[in-house]
Amino acid sequence: MTLTLTHSHFNKSISAIGGQMRLKGRVRILPLVQMSRSAASLSTQNQMNPETKMFSFQSFTISLTLLAAGLILLSSAVPLPSEDPVMDNSSDRQNGSTFLYFAYGSNLLKERLQLKNPSATIYCVAKLKDYKLVFGNHKGLASQRWHGGVATIEHSPGDEVWGVVWRMNMSDLESLDRQENVKMGTYSPVEVNVSTSRQDLSCRTYIMNSCVYAPPSPQYLQVIVMGAEQNGLPEDYQEKLRSIETNKYEGPLPVMEELEKALKKPKKERTEEIQSDD
C-alpha cells in the first residue's frame, strides 16, 4: 500500500504550519526545517530510483510522527501573546510588591514624582469619571511652598479628571504619603476606579481634607501642564488646564528652582528631594 505525497506538497504544509508558530514576532521553525530536510532527503532518494517514485507507507508514517512531535514541542514552548501589554505587571500587584497610583496634579510630571519616589514607572493614561479637578488649601492655610492653591479632586457627576497611572514599589508608599502630608491631615488616601480604553483599574490617589478654594500659582500650574504634555493627555483636557486662572504670583519660588535643576540632571544624579503640599 502506498500513498502519493510529493516533496513540494510536504514542504508547503511544513511552511504553512511553521508560519503560524510565532513567539513575539519570531518564527520558531527549527524543528520543522529539520523535518523538511529529512523529507526532502527521502523524496530525493525516491526520485533517483525510477522504480520508487512514491513514499512508502512506512516513510510516510515516520514523517508524520516527526511532524507531530515537532508540533507538540512548539505548542508547549510558544505561549499565546498578551492582547493587553498593560496587564503584564499584574502579577507584581497581586503579590503585593507594587501598587498603582493615579496622579492628577504636579505628580503628572515624571521627574517631579521620581524625585521622592524613584520606583515610579508609567503604567498608562486613564480618566476618573464623575470627579472634577479643583484647587485650594487645607482649611484655607495658604501653601508656603507653592504660594497658591494646590490640586485636589471632588465628586461631580458627569465630569472627568484625566491623569497618569504610575506603578510604584510598596517601598515608596510611605514616601508618597509623606509628600501628600497624610499624617498632618492635609490629604487622605483613597481607592478610586479609573478607566482606559481597555480596562478599569483600582488605584490609590489622594483627596484634600477641608478644602477652601484658591487659585494656583502660575508656576504650580505650569508643572501640571508640563506633566499633561509629557504623557499625552487628551488635547482638549490640556487646553482646559492651560485656561485655568492663576493668582498671578510673580515672586520667588524655591521649589521651582529645585525642580528645574533636577530636570537638567541625569537620572542617576537626581538625589534631591522636593517637599510640597501635592
42, containing H or E segment = helix 30-48
Is 213 assigned a ligand-binding role in the annotation? no
The catalytic residue among 160, 180, 245, 272 is: 180
Is 103 assigned a ligand-binding role in the annotation? yes
Is 105 assigned a ligand-binding role in the annotation? yes
Is 148 assigned a ligand-binding role in the annotation? no
Residue at grid coordinates 508656603 = 144
The whole-angstrom separation of Cα 25 and Cα 72 is: 20
Is 106 assigned a ligand-binding role in the annotation? yes
Q: What is the crossing angle of helices 57-77 and 7-20, to 10°?
A: 10
- Cβ pair 120, 166 in contact under 8 A: yes
Q: Is 250 a catalytic residue?
A: no
- At residue 145, φ and ψ (nearest 5 deg) are -85, -45
Is 135 assigned a ligand-binding role in the annotation? no
Mapped onto helix, strand or coil, the DSSP state of residue 158 is strand
Is 232 assigned a ligand-binding role in the annotation? no
DSSP summary character for residue 2 = B
Residue at grid coordinates 492635609 = 186
Q: Which residues contact 23 (CB under 8 A, 6 or more apart)?
A: 77, 78, 79
State the cell numbers at 130. Answer: 464623575
Q: List residues forming the annotated binding site.
A: 101-106, 220
Q: Which residues are catalytic?
A: 180
Q: List residues forming the annotated binding site for substrate.
A: 101-106, 220
